[in-house]
Amino acid sequence: MLNEREKEIAAIAASVADHCQLCLGVHIEKAKNPDITEVDMERIFKIANTISSKGDENMMDFA
């Protein structure tokens, strides 16, 4: 079972990977409760962007 901090980290990463600005804003606000730091956010964004970019690249190759 994920704790609240882990859930928000996953939600932030999913929002970035899905390019959902509304979702990202909501989850960044919620992340303040489980105390996710700016350093954590930078790491989450970097990982999510890498996953999203690679997924986009793979889809273009497939298409």
* Structural domains of the chain ordered from first start: 4-62 (1.20.1290.10)
Sequence-separated (6 or more) residues with CB below 8 Å from residue 10? 2
Q: What is the pLDDT of residues 41-57, one digit of tens each?
A: 999 999 999 988 888 88
- Averaged over 9-26, what is the pLDDT? 94
- Averaged over 26-50, what is the pLDDT? 90
Q: What is the torsion angle, in degrees rounded to the nearest 10, for the CA atoms of residue 3, residue 7, residue 10 and residue 16?
A: -150
| pLDDT grade for 1, boundaries at 50, 70 and 90 | very high
